[in-house]
Structures are given as C-alpha cells and as structure tokens.
A and B are shown apart, each in its own frame.
Chain A
Amino acid sequence: MRRSLLSVLALAMVGASAPPEVAGSAASDLSIVPDEIHLTGSSARQQLVVTGNADGRTVDLSALVSFRSENPSVVSVDEHGVARPEGDGNTVIVAVLDGEEARASVTVTGMSIARPVTFERDVMPLLTRLGCNSGPCHGKQRGQNGFQLSLLGFDPTFDHNALTKEARGRRVFPAAPEQSLTLLKATASLPHGGGKRIEPDSEEYRILRDWIASGMPRDPEGSPTVVGLDIWPPERSLAAGDQQRAIVTARYSDGSTADVTHLAAFQSNESAVVAVDDSGLIRAGDRPGEAAISARFEGHFATCSVTIPLEGEVPASLYDDLPRSNVIDGLVWAKLRKLGLTPSPETDDSTFLRRAYLDAIGRLPSLEETRAFLDDPSPEKRASLVDRLLERPEYADYWATKWMDLLRPNPYRVGIKAVWNLDAWIRRAFRENMPYDEFVRTIVTAQGSTFSEGPSTIFRDRREPEELTTMVSQLFLGIRLECAKCHHHPFEVWGQDDFYGFAAYFAEVGRKGTGLSPPISGGEEVIFASGKGAVSHPLTGERMEPAPLFGEAPDPDDDPRRALASWMTDPDNPYFARVIANRVWADLMGVGLVMPVDDLRATNPPTNPELLDALADEFVQSGFDLKHLIRTIMTSRVYALDSLPNDRNVADVRNYARHYRKRLPAEVLIDAICDVTGIPEEYDAAAPGTRATQIWTHRVPSTFLDTFGRPDANQDPPCERTPDTSVTQVLHLMNAPSLHAKITHEDGLAARLAASDRPPSAIVEELYLLLYCRRPTEEERSVALAVFDEPGVDRRRACEDLLWALLNSAEFLFID
C-alpha cells in the first residue's frame, strides 16, 4: 500500500506540482539525512531523506533521486530510501540526481545476534499504528465483535491476553502462524469489519507472523524502554504543494536509538493546511498557513512545525516600519513576516471605542462618553480609555462572569446560599483585582463553611478526588487529564499514574455538615483537611502518593492541597501563567494562541509560541495582575487593527493580521439592548436594576440568555459558552414580544426621541451614536431620514422602526 501511494506521489511531483527548478539541474547542494548510519541487528532499518535547495528553500528530493549501496552485502537500500542491514561491515549509500551525489556512511553490526520479535517493542506499536486499538475499533469500551484491546494500548498485559488467550486461542496459532485469526482478519482473508489493514507481503505481516511463530513472547524484564522521540525535520517552510518526508527516531533507556518512522502514527493539527499520511510524508496544501505535524510512538511525541508562506515578496521595510506599542506587536509582526502576511490598518476611533468598552467592561459607552471620546484630539486617548475602563465597577462583574461559567455550580445541586457565596467571592476577587495566583491558591486550598467561605462551595459540588483532578488541571493548567483517567490520550503524554498521583492531593479533603440533597440542598458544609483518605490506582490497586505532573513539588503537609497549589502557582510552572494568558488573549482577540484555550500540549502548539511566552512572562513579572495583562493586550497595536482584510491576510484566522469579529455574549447583548432602549430587564431572585452580568447563577430563568447560549450550569466543566449564532436567535431578536415591548415602551428611547423637539437628523445621529458609537454616513442619514417622510408614518413609528432595524443589524450584534 505504501508503495502505490509513494509512486503516485512521486509522479505528482515530477508532474504538475513540481517546480521545474526542482526536477532540473538547478537543484543544488544535495544532502542526505542522516549522513551517518549505525544499524544494529537484522531487524534494524533506516529511512533516508535527500534534500536540496531550490528557489531559496529546502526541498525534499527523495522521490527523484536514485539510491545505491556501494556494498549490497553490507546494506541494501530500496527505491524509497529505506536502508536495511545485510551483513556486518562498513560501506556507503549514495543518492544520485542528475549527476550530483550525496553520500551517507553506514556501519552494520550485530547481524549474528538474532533479536526476537517481542510484543511491547514490535507488536504493540503496530496495533496502534494500524488503528486496531483505536476508539472506533477494538479499543472501544466493549471491543468490536468480541475482541477488545485497551484503548490505544495503555495496558499491554490486557492486550497480550486478548490476543493470545481469549477466543479459545484462535487468534494466534503458532503451529501454523498464517492460519492465525489475527492475520486472516487483518488481511481480510476472512471477513473483517475493519477491512484489509495489511498486505500479506508487507513488513507488518512479517512482524506479526514471526511473533506468532516464535510463541508470542513479551519483552524480557528490564528491556530498554522508549524515553524520547525525535522527528526530523523539526521545522520546515514549504511552498504550496510541496512534500517532505519525516524521519522519526526513538531514544531508548539503554542509550540506543532506532528509526521508527514505519511504526509511528502521524497527525496534523491542521490537516486542511498541511496533511501527513501514514508513512510520514508531509504534504503542504494549496494555501498559506501552518500546522504542527505530530508523530506518536509508544506514548511519546515529537512535533514538526510546518509553515507555508503566502507567495510573493513583501519588502522587509514594511515590517520594519510597523508601529510597536509594546512587546506584543513585534512578536506578531515577526510571525506575519514569516508567513508573508501583512496586517490590516489601524481601525478608526469609533470601532476602537466600541470594541474596548465591550471587551473590557461588557457594556456600550453612553452617548456622552462616545461624543467625548470621538471629539478628544489627544493622541493618547486610546491608552487612557483603557486605563479608565479597567477602573470601572463593571469590569469586575464582566470578567467575574467568565469565571462563573467555569466555577459556579448549579444551585439546585449544592444549594442557593453556597452558590451565592461563591459568586460573591469571585466578584469581590475581581473588584479587588486579587492577584491571579492568590485567586487560584485560595480556590484549590479552600477551607471552611460553604455559608461563609465562597470557594469551599467548589468542594461541596465536586466531591471526588477524580472530579477535582479533571477540573483543576484543565481550568488552571490547561492540561486535560480526563482521558488519562482511563487511557493514554492518543496525543497526550499523561497516563493513569499521572492522573491518580494528581488526584491523591485531594484524597484527604474532609466534609462535615449536611451533604447534598437536591433539588434544594440547602445545608451547610465545612470543608477541612481530614488527614485521612486515599486514592488508589485502578489497574494495580496501589495506594497513590500525591505527585505533581512534572517537576518538583513541596512535600505535602497536613493539607496536601497546599503543596499542590504551591507547585501549580509557582512562577516557573510553564502551564499556569500560559493558560490564563491564553484565555485572556482569546477573550480579547477572538481566538486563542492555543485552541481550545485550555488544551496546552506539545501536539497542540501555540500559533505564536514566543508571544505566549512573552505574555506569560509579563503576567508573572506583574505579580499575576490580570488588569495589567488586559491593559498590555488592549494597548498593543495588534488589538487595534481593523477587521477588514487586505489581499495578503484575508485567509488569516489565527495570526492576528486583522481583528476577528465576535458576537456579543448573551449577557452583554441583553444589557446593551436594555441600555440602548432604556428599559431594563427584570430577573428572578435579583434586585431591581440588576444587569445580566450581575446575575448570581445561570439558573435564573431567561429565555433571551438561554437562546443566546449562556452555559448550562451543570454541564461537564469547564463549560465554554457558545459564540455561535442560530436561527432561533435571529427570530427572537426580530419578533420576541419582550424585545418589542422595549422598543415600543412609553418610557423607552423611541418614545423619548419622538416626543423631543429635535429634528429627525439629530434623532438619527443619536441612534447611530448609541448603537454603533459612530455618526451616520451621508447615505445612511438620507435612508434613515426618508423614514420620517413616508406617508402615514409618525415620528414615534419612524423611531421604533429605525431602532428595530439597527438592533437587528450585524454592526450592533457583533464586536467589530
């Protein structure tokens, strides 16, 4: 199968997609990777890749060169550049293209020592690579047609049993290995739900057959284990349509290395931009962008970052001349330069004003504030606006609401008073601008009564160490351990040992008082360090000692959570500051440097790692000051870019060459409608005049907020609110009687404007300033004024219809 694929790709390269410079003699500086090869034992092999220079960039010429061994009795090499040992000795492999040569020296040893094919080293990687143990196949919870493997091979003993002992041993048949059910099925000689996975003449087949023939041995005790993985090249810039073969090398505990390219599983995090096939052949798509290509082998990962710059030259001076307000700008411009993208221009004052208000405090500016800002000639007015906004009381409610989404449980489950307390505590933390490390430490080590200590409510809601583990690791470290509870995540390094070691920090959380009794659950509980309790490993039953996921943590004292919190919030913990910096960046910029925002891992790298590092450093330096972080971002030039693209950034959705639009969040939108119309909303269990961003629980009924996607308090955390629009939303905006009542209210804006003695043009201007934070253009003014002149339309009706039309427009509903 690999053969046919390769020849097709090779043809494609020679044909249309290969630039003539590559195929022709202009290609130069032929080089071979690796240029020094040590092959130990008959099962060793080495993938070779030959590169050259064309058009000023490195190109993979492996499919065009011819390979030759100078001594075929020492090493053979096939047309795909795979070297295999034939006999002990030294020789050279030569790659030739148009008379040019590249040479790799080869040493072969250990051919007389036969290494047996063993389960962990040879067979398990195959089961993973062929997809046998994947979630949709035999790795699913009940297996497939009675044959179950551990998901992605996290339990070798279980898998060895499943293959060799279950099904009355029919899966393997050492006496006649070819008749083993495993091989008959995998080659589809017998009907197989998964179809044909291997060819009878393939290397995979040989490995499985030899393993069965030799009695299905496991790895001997003390066998070398994989300690790390490297991929070559670690990074590469490709032109659209280019290909690049990857080489994956495993490092073993005994210091040896081996080429495992043929055993590794490959994945692109942006396969529409850069794809990778099963053999590790990377292929750039037809448009600019970038992607991380991950190789996985035995629970280890290596990542190659690939960029496809936009074609065409951009003069360096363009980037050099771009303004730099702070550390952010230079790093974004550097990234754009690498991709050949150019930024959109700075946006106008109105757009900036509206964006800044909605992003920083979740509300629109008043008429007076808008006029004052637009008329202010000061060149510093944007920065001083940001400073003023961050001191507004609405700042606390708006940013606290984001944390409510993530932290605040369902009052029907844990009780009204407990949830109210937590809500109040979070709001206070934001009012006082509590340093973020203190905020998290207080939550993770919460003690005391749920009736007086808000954060302890979290431990009333999440009662098992396992639940606390998934929540705390994902929210505050951006590490998703949920998968690791049961199996190694396919593209994640964490396993069950990590999960239960982390969970052990929560083993001794004690609870006194009245437990949960939904749907009222009004009791009081006191959270304390009980000094007893344990977490055990689900496979081994072993009692787990608290252990950090990496690095060193202080020894646990009488409350192990303190050691955990101290390790988590340490300025040197690379995850802690990055995940919050990424969250805040995503809130303000529309998309995170890492997406999803709480999924930080090697196989999901940031689009601009230097920028995320810089933001995290800045945040740590400031003493974990969230306002400082927000101010830094909002005063950058990058934040102030226009959303409209130019022809060198139109396809950019991850590198901030332009500002990305987002719909107003549910609470902000209803508050904006209330502010504009002058008619507030009334909420159950809330004081009159309460704004949506001040509601103490998402369980307060509101058709509007539900329609616009506020989170459901009891979904699996952390609960991301939906930014999507939907037909239900637009029907509600157009037709909801409650919104109609605000537009037509006797005390509302439309009635007030209609009753005033102002001329229609002043009314139109006021509407535009209120809803869009700008004055209408001449054309808009004339369309709007025409409404006042229509026969049978009075001023009141004209005002209402205009208000309705503007409320239902994209410019109102989106932050531009």
Chain B
Amino acid sequence: MSRSSNCEGVSRRDCLRLGLSTLIGGGLIDALRLRGQAEALMPTSSRPTSCILVWMDGGPTHYETFDPKPEAPAEIRGEYDPIATAIPGVHFSRHMTELAKIADRLAIVRSIQHNQGNHGAGNHYMMTGAPTRIPVGCGAFVSFHPSLGSVTAYERGPTGGLPPYFSIPRMSRSGGPNFLGAKYAPFEVPDDPNRDSFRVRDVSPPRELDLGRFDHRRDLRAQLDRLERIDHDAAGDPVRSLDEYYEQGYTLMASKDAQRAFDIHSEPDSIRDLYGRTSFGQRCLLARRLVEAGVPFITLYEGGWDHHVEIFNALDKKLPPFDRALAALILDLEQRGLLDSTLVVALGEFGRTPKINNRGGRDHWSNAMSVMFAGCRTPGGQVVGATDPRGYAANERILSPENFASTVYLKLGIDPDKIYYTPQGRPAHLVSDPTPIAELMG
C-alpha cells in the first residue's frame, strides 16, 4: 500500500476507486447507471482492444495530409496536388500514396476543432479530452487531467507483466497520469529500434550480465533485503508496495511473451522493410509487437510537424516514410487479424493556417484539423465532416476534442462519462461531453 495514503489506511488509488462518493450525493449512482448505457456502445469482441495513438507533435497540416483544397487560391492550396484514394471521390494530398491505397480501411475526420492555438494547450486538449484549466503558453508541459493512455492503464491494468501504457520514444507534453499517480505514467522506450543495438530499456539485465548471474543477484537480494516489513494492512507500509513492484519487475523480465515483444530483431527482414528502415517505421513495428503481447495503449510520439517555415521542403522528406510506415502498420495488423481489436489513430494538437506565410510555412490553426482512424471496427472508407472549400474551418459535422476522446475510450471499453475523484475529492468527469463520433462506432 502506498505511503500517500490519505484515507486512513486507504491508498490514493483506493480513494479514486471508492470515488469518495459520500462527498457529493449521487455520483456513484450516476456512474453505475451510465455504465449500463455505455456498455451498449462498447466493443464485444473477445480479444481486449488496444489503441496505437500516433502523435504528430507540432500540429500536422491538414492541407498536405488528408484535406487538400485544390480549388483554393494558390497561396492556400500550396504546392501539392491531390491524389485519388480507394474511396471514390475522396482525395488525399500528394505524398499520402500508401494510405490512399488503403483508404477503404480508414475513416478520416476532417471537422474536429477547438480553440487552443498553442502547443501546450492543444496537446493537453487532444491528449486528455479536457481543455487546460488556465491559459498556458507554447512551451508549457502541463497536466491538469489524466491522459488517454494513463486512464487506460488505470482502467485496464498490466497484462502478462507488461506495463499497460507505453509512450515511444517518450511521453508527450500532457501524456501523463496527473492525479492518478506515478503508477500510471507511461513506460518510455527512448532508444531507437532502427539501430542494431536497440533494446527496450531496463526490462532485461545489462548486456554484460549473463542470466545466471542475474539470478544469483536476485537470490542474494532475497537473502539480504531484511528490513522488517509491517504486515498489518492498516499500517500502510510503503515497503510492501516496493516488494510488489519487484515481483512485477521479475515477472516482466521472465515473461517470454514480453521479452519476445521487445525483441524487434527477431522480426523477419521482409516485415521490417515493409515498415521502412526509419526510426518511426520501426517504432510502428514495435507497437504492433506490443499489441500482440496484449498492451492496451501505445503512444507513438513523432515530432517535427511544426512547419512554420519551408513546409513543402520539409514534407517532401517527412511524409513519404511516415505514410509508408503507417500504412504498413495498418496492413500488418489486418493480416494478423489484429485490426478488428486495435484502434490506430493519427493526429496532432491542431491543423495549420490556410495561407502560406512569408517564410513558406504554415502556422498554428485550431479551427480545423484532420484525424485519421482505422481499426477496432471503425467503418472504413469514409470521411466524417468537412471544412469549407478553403479549409479555414470545420463547417460540416463540427466535432470537438471531447468527441474524439470519448470515441477512443469507448473503443477501449472505458466509459467516458465516468467520474473520477482527485485525491482532494474534486469530481472530474473523464470527458465532459461523453458523446462519441457516431459514424466511427460501427
């Protein structure tokens, strides 16, 4: 039990569970009742669902990805021509060739908008489904609400010794657990899986140690770790939770499934090539391996989308390998029968300005953004909503970050209308508007 106990002998986590529901009448009743409603929307497949969230940090342009505007004036439509996709009448931008071919598996939402035009706030809104409580600036790393991944970790727990939430290579600005506590922070994999020397950090003994020596150390530790534990639960001895984590750690290290998932080097070259031999490509592949091993939430953090200058030069290099890796991920999941239980989403904090600026770039623009969905029984081959002919703003089927977050939660079997209580007893709606994007719910 954790030392951060704040009900006598009841850990912070237990408090969250109990919901401190005596504070405000009806909270628990509401939560129970609404769970009944939410269950009707939740997936019924036997395999637990997973989510791979591709975070395009900086705010990807909607024009040059999923929402080209060929009819707009040159200073808006930019340098790229649209290309046809597998959905008749729907076009993507020039470099999205591989995703265009499999557009029948994709649902593109073109009409999510919000009002947070800087990175800190936009990231928070899309990563948590809640706007920031106070205005925050561009450089801000803020956390007022738990992220999609941390909530999933909290709700779903670890499987087979594997942490339930990975963020690869690192956590995004608001990707943390906030009031849920450190236990639900993402497990980061900072090293580059495209390198021959790649290993997932800390999940196996240092290379120089053979396994026999590790086992020897482990035995030695068991004999020498003699600080007396306080067995009585009410004492809340934090050392006992340390013991629990060492057991979990040993389980993870000994789990063949987990270690196999981490061993990207065992993947056939043909598959590794399919994703492209890039850091992002191999991270997509690692995500697929983690999904196979049962991890419910993986964020793939891909920086470099903040194209204030020379956007076309930058995207000429950035988009083709990105497009290829993402398409390979979706196809690979499909071929392995995992796509029905795996949601793949790709998004950033907002879209980008219609007019190319005088430095050849586009700036932040939260009036319109495109979000890609695939898998987890999302009906493919559709575009939801639309922006105006010049791409200034969503003008059809206008949707919010709350709708986005609710969709992801429901696909993961989590009721977005839940109420959490912070350790101080403040009620916090998981998502204030629990309405999912109906077209995606299948």
Q: Residues of A with Cβ closer than 8 Å to B?
A: 129-131, 134-137, 140-142, 193-195, 197, 267-268, 270-273, 275-276, 278, 287, 289, 410, 412-413, 466-467, 483, 490, 516, 518-519, 521, 590, 595-596, 599, 643-645, 650-651, 653-654, 660-663, 703, 709, 712-716, 722-732, 734-737, 740, 744, 780, 783-784, 787, 797, 801-802, 804-806, 808-811, 813-814, 816
The reply to whether B142 and A661 form a contact with Cβ atoms under 8 Å apart is: no
The reply to whether A713 and B141 form a contact with Cβ atoms under 8 Å apart is: yes
The reply to whether A599 and B424 form a contact with Cβ atoms under 8 Å apart is: yes
Residue in A519, A590, A660, A814 whose CB lies within 8 Å of B227: A814
Closest 3 CB pairs of A and B: A518-B139, A131-B25, A651-B234
A653 / chain B contacts, CB cutoff of 8 Å:
5, 8-9, 234-236
Q: For the complex, what is the distance from the CA of A716 to the CA of B9, rounded to whole Å?
A: 27
The reply to whether B221 and A275 form a contact with Cβ atoms under 8 Å apart is: no
Q: How far is the CB of A754 from chain B (nearest CB, A)?
A: 16
A654 / chain B contacts, CB cutoff of 8 Å:
8
The reply to whether B181 and A722 form a contact with Cβ atoms under 8 Å apart is: yes
The reply to whether B24 and A131 form a contact with Cβ atoms under 8 Å apart is: yes
Given contacts A650-B235, A714-B142, A730-B246, contact A784 B224 (CB under 8 A): yes
The reply to whether A722 and B182 form a contact with Cβ atoms under 8 Å apart is: yes
Beyond A267-B23, A804-B217: 12 further Cβ-contacts under 8 Å? A137-B26, A195-B26, A518-B137, A519-B138, A521-B139, A644-B230, A727-B163, A730-B242, A731-B202, A736-B202, A736-B206, A737-B207
Interface-lining segment among B27-35, B88-96, B286-294: B27-35
B114-155: which have CB < 8 Å to A?
Answer: 120, 133-134, 136-144
Q: Residues of B with Cβ closer than 8 Å to A?
A: 2-10, 20, 22-27, 29-30, 33-34, 120, 133-134, 136-144, 158, 163, 176, 181-183, 185, 187, 190, 201-209, 213, 216-217, 220-221, 223-230, 232, 234-239, 241-243, 245-246, 248-249, 252-253, 419, 423-424, 426-427, 429, 432-433
B245 / chain A contacts, CB cutoff of 8 Å:
725-727, 729-730
B8 / chain A contacts, CB cutoff of 8 Å:
270, 272-273, 289, 651, 653-654
The reply to whether A141 and B432 form a contact with Cβ atoms under 8 Å apart is: yes
A136 / chain B contacts, CB cutoff of 8 Å:
24, 26-27, 30, 419, 427, 429
Q: How far is the CB of A310 from chain B (nearest CB, A)?
A: 12
Residue in B220, B221, B241, B426 whose CB lies within 8 Å of A725: B241
Q: For the complex, what is the distance from the CA of A420 to the CA of B226, rounded to whole Å?
A: 43
Q: How far is the CB of B162 from chain A (nearest CB, A)?
A: 10
**Chain A residue with Cβ nearest B27:** A136
21 example contacts (A-B, Cβ-Cβ < 8 A) are as follows A130-B25, A136-B427, A194-B26, A412-B139, A466-B134, A590-B3, A653-B236, A661-B238, A716-B144, A725-B242, A726-B185, A726-B245, A730-B249, A732-B201, A734-B249, A740-B208, A744-B208, A783-B223, A784-B224, A814-B227, A814-B242
The reply to whether B234 and A728 form a contact with Cβ atoms under 8 Å apart is: no
The reply to whether B27 and A134 form a contact with Cβ atoms under 8 Å apart is: yes
B253 / chain A contacts, CB cutoff of 8 Å:
731, 734-735
A272 / chain B contacts, CB cutoff of 8 Å:
7-10
Residue in A275, A490, A813 whose CB lies within 8 Å of B23: A490
Q: How far is the CB of B116 from chain A (nearest CB, A)?
A: 15
Q: For the complex, what is the distance from the CA of A816 to the CA of B5, rounded to whole Å?
A: 17
Q: How far is the CB of A160 from chain B (nearest CB, A)?
A: 22
The reply to whether B224 and A134 form a contact with Cβ atoms under 8 Å apart is: no
Q: How far is the CB of A535 from chain B (nearest CB, A)?
A: 16
The reply to whether B220 and A787 form a contact with Cβ atoms under 8 Å apart is: yes
Given contacts A193-B33, A267-B22, A271-B22, contact A410 B221 (CB under 8 A): no
B234 / chain A contacts, CB cutoff of 8 Å:
287, 650-651, 653
Point out which of B6, B202, B229 has the most chain A C-beta atoms below 10 A from its C-beta: B202
Q: For the complex, what is the distance from the CA of A734 to the CA of B182, rounded to whole Å?
A: 19
Q: For the complex, what is the distance from the CA of A660 to the CA of B227, rounded to whole Å?
A: 14
Residue in B140, B187, B429 whose CB lies within 8 Å of A410: B140
B139 / chain A contacts, CB cutoff of 8 Å:
410, 412-413, 518-519, 521, 714
Given contacts A651-B234, A735-B206, contact A278 B25 (CB under 8 A): yes
Q: How far is the CB of A521 from chain B (nearest CB, A)?
A: 7
B238 / chain A contacts, CB cutoff of 8 Å:
661-663, 723, 725, 814
**Chain B residue with Cβ nearest A410:** B139
A130 / chain B contacts, CB cutoff of 8 Å:
25
**Chain B residue with Cβ nearest A196:** B29
The reply to whether B427 and A724 form a contact with Cβ atoms under 8 Å apart is: no
Q: For the complex, what is the distance from the CA of A287 to the CA of B232, rounded to whole Å?
A: 13
A519 / chain B contacts, CB cutoff of 8 Å:
138-139
The reply to whether B432 and A809 form a contact with Cβ atoms under 8 Å apart is: no
A195 / chain B contacts, CB cutoff of 8 Å:
26, 29-30, 33
A709 / chain B contacts, CB cutoff of 8 Å:
182
A713 / chain B contacts, CB cutoff of 8 Å:
141
Prevailing SS type, chain A contact patch: loop
Q: For the complex, what is the distance from the CA of A140 to the CA of B237, rounded to whole Å?
A: 38
Point out which of B142, B203, B238 has the most chain A C-beta atoms below 10 A from its C-beta: B238
Given contacts A140-B432, A653-B5, A806-B224, contact A134 B141 (CB under 8 A): no
A737 / chain B contacts, CB cutoff of 8 Å:
206-207
B24 / chain A contacts, CB cutoff of 8 Å:
131, 134-137, 490
Q: For the complex, what is the distance from the CA of A793 to the CA of B391, rounded to whole Å?
A: 70
The reply to whether A727 and B249 form a contact with Cβ atoms under 8 Å apart is: yes
Q: For the complex, what is the distance from the CA of A124 to the CA of B99, rounded to whole Å?
A: 57
Q: How far is the CB of B247 from chain A (nearest CB, A)?
A: 9
**Chain B residue with Cβ nearest A590:** B3
A267 / chain B contacts, CB cutoff of 8 Å:
22-23
B141 / chain A contacts, CB cutoff of 8 Å:
410, 712-715
Q: How far is the CB of A290 from chain B (nearest CB, A)?
A: 9
B163 / chain A contacts, CB cutoff of 8 Å:
727-728
B3 / chain A contacts, CB cutoff of 8 Å:
590, 660-663, 723-724
**Chain B residue with Cβ nearest A133:** B24
B187 / chain A contacts, CB cutoff of 8 Å:
728
**Chain A residue with Cβ nearest B183:** A726
**Chain A residue with Cβ nearest B28:** A136
**Chain B residue with Cβ nearest A721:** B182
Given contacts A135-B24, A141-B432, contact A724 B220 (CB under 8 A): no
The reply to whether B142 and A809 form a contact with Cβ atoms under 8 Å apart is: no
Q: How far is the CB of B254 from chain A (nearest CB, A)?
A: 12
Q: For the complex, what is the distance from the CA of A661 to the CA of B427, rounded to whole Å?
A: 30
The reply to whether B6 and A805 form a contact with Cβ atoms under 8 Å apart is: no
Q: How far is the CB of A196 from chain B (nearest CB, A)?
A: 10
Q: How far is the CB of B194 from chain A (nearest CB, A)?
A: 19
Q: For the complex, what is the distance from the CA of A787 to the CA of B217, rounded to whole Å?
A: 10
Q: How far is the CB of A206 from chain B (nearest CB, A)?
A: 20
Given contacts A267-B23, A716-B133, contact A724 B182 (CB under 8 A): yes
Q: For the complex, what is the distance from the CA of A653 to the CA of B232, rounded to whole Å?
A: 12
Q: For the complex, what is the distance from the CA of A187 to the CA of B8, rounded to whole Å?
A: 36
Given contacts A134-B25, A730-B249, contact A805 B224 (CB under 8 A): yes
Q: For the complex, what is the distance from the CA of A287 to the CA of B10, rounded to whole Å?
A: 13
The reply to whether B137 and A644 form a contact with Cβ atoms under 8 Å apart is: no
Q: How far is the CB of A294 from chain B (nearest CB, A)?
A: 11
Q: How far is the CB of A300 from chain B (nearest CB, A)?
A: 18
The reply to whether B220 and A805 form a contact with Cβ atoms under 8 Å apart is: yes
Given contacts A651-B235, A801-B216, contact A715 B227 (CB under 8 A): no
The reply to whether B232 and A651 form a contact with Cβ atoms under 8 Å apart is: yes
Q: How far is the CB of B259 from chain A (nearest CB, A)?
A: 12
Q: How far is the CB of B208 from chain A (nearest CB, A)?
A: 7
A134 / chain B contacts, CB cutoff of 8 Å:
24-27, 427
B237 / chain A contacts, CB cutoff of 8 Å:
661
Q: How far is the CB of A238 from chain B (nearest CB, A)?
A: 15
Q: For the complex, what is the distance from the CA of A588 to the CA of B183, rounded to whole Å?
A: 24
B142 / chain A contacts, CB cutoff of 8 Å:
714-716
Q: How far is the CB of B134 from chain A (nearest CB, A)?
A: 7
B228 / chain A contacts, CB cutoff of 8 Å:
644
Q: For the complex, what is the distance from the CA of A195 to the CA of B33, rounded to whole Å?
A: 9
Q: For the complex, what is the distance from the CA of A595 to the CA of B425, rounded to whole Å?
A: 13
B205 / chain A contacts, CB cutoff of 8 Å:
734-735
